[in-house]
Amino acid sequence: MPLNKSSNMPQKKNSFKHRLEYSLFAALIFFIKCSPAWFVPAWSKILIFFLKKGSRKHSRLIAKNLAGAFPAASPECLEELQNKIYSHFGRMFVEIARTFARREPQAVLARSRILHPEVIEKALQKKRGLVIFSAHFGNWEWIPLILHTHLGRDILSIARPMDNPLLEKKVREFREAMGSKIIYKKGSLRTILTRLGDNQIVYLLIDQNTVPREGSFVDFFARKASTNTTVAQLYLKKNIPAVPVFLHYEGKEIILDVLPEVDFSAAAGGPDGLLELTQQMTGLIETQIKEFHEQWFWFHDRWKTRPQGAAHES
């Protein structure tokens, strides 16, 4: 991350497209807000239909990602898994939209359970700040909400602003109402270090593709994937405690699983310590996905960036 004092979102002009997108978004939120609870499953089915039919590009990308991650699976099995992915994210997006519309997180919290929160509490006792890392898995938006409610602390979430500034303003307001304090990724390192120095909690997602200058190539489902190294660098260079957390659904229950604090010897890793630690963290994400296949965000082009000299995947 480049060094910069400001973590404010860059200003963008509101185009006609932005206003149209915002109008459609506002209408959807209005209808979901006014809909009775019994109509929520219908909204999920509507959204699943548009997810499937609205973008052939994403449909092809999901199919390509699944085929690459599970090469031994039959076409029928992969098609069934793709349908489960659409179902999971259709329900998840409606759940977020309904909570957004009504500003009532209690319905989410009532179905939530946190496992091993003492790991976080113990890490905070070191007074060096804490980095919590996760993935676009289960429903990553609820992680700050659940942790904020349990710990009584704000969670500083590192995020990239949306392309539409009108939507970004509303989404940021919602996230902050749910317990997050947003720090925009570009130029955020100095701000992150300052907050960690105050023993605050920083929350990052480290499972998306990155350009080579910002990451390292590690194995992810037996293929090289350019991976964010920010958490590993903070751990190795600044001695910041790091704790992996993953949220998944089991039926209607929402489980936030806090895994053991990262324990990695830089001396044992030698000059390849950063790469080895990034691989270890990525391995934790892969393990979660293998247990709950449909709950990872397969819509993302995770293997887009290729190692130098490697052929691009079609």
Contacts (Cβ under 8 Å, ≥6 apart) of 293: 81, 84, 85
Least confident of 6-10, 51-55, 161-165: 6-10
Q: Say whether pLDDT at 312 is over 90.
A: no
pLDDT at 205 over 80: yes
- Mean pLDDT over 173-201 rounds to 94
What's this model's pTM, rounded to 2 decimal places?
Answer: 0.90
Strand partners, 169: none
**Between 255 and 213, the higher pLDDT residue:** 255
Say what the pLDDT of residue 272 is.
86
Strands 242-250 and 253-258: antiparallel
First CA to last CA across the chain, in angstroms? 30
Q: Is the pLDDT reported for residue 11 higher than 50?
A: yes
| The predicted structure's pLDDT at residue 119 | 98
* Span 195-211, average pLDDT: 97
Distance, CA of 291 to CA of 249 (rounded, Å): 11
Please compute the mean of the pLDDT values over residues 195-209 and round it to a whole number.
97
Closest C-alpha among 129, 64, 88 to residue 314: 64
DSSP state of 296: B
Q: Over 70: is that where the pLDDT of 101 sits? A: yes
Which residues does residue 203 pair with via DSSP β-bridges, in sequence order? 132, 157
Burial of 199 from C-beta contacts in 10 A (0-12 / 13-18 / 19+)? middle
Predicted local confidence at residue 269, as pLDDT: 59
**Residue of higher predicted confidence among 5 and 108:** 108
For residues 35-48, average pLDDT: 87
Residue 280 has pLDDT above 80, yes or no: yes
The answer on pLDDT for 70 being more than 90 is yes
Residue 96: what pLDDT? 94
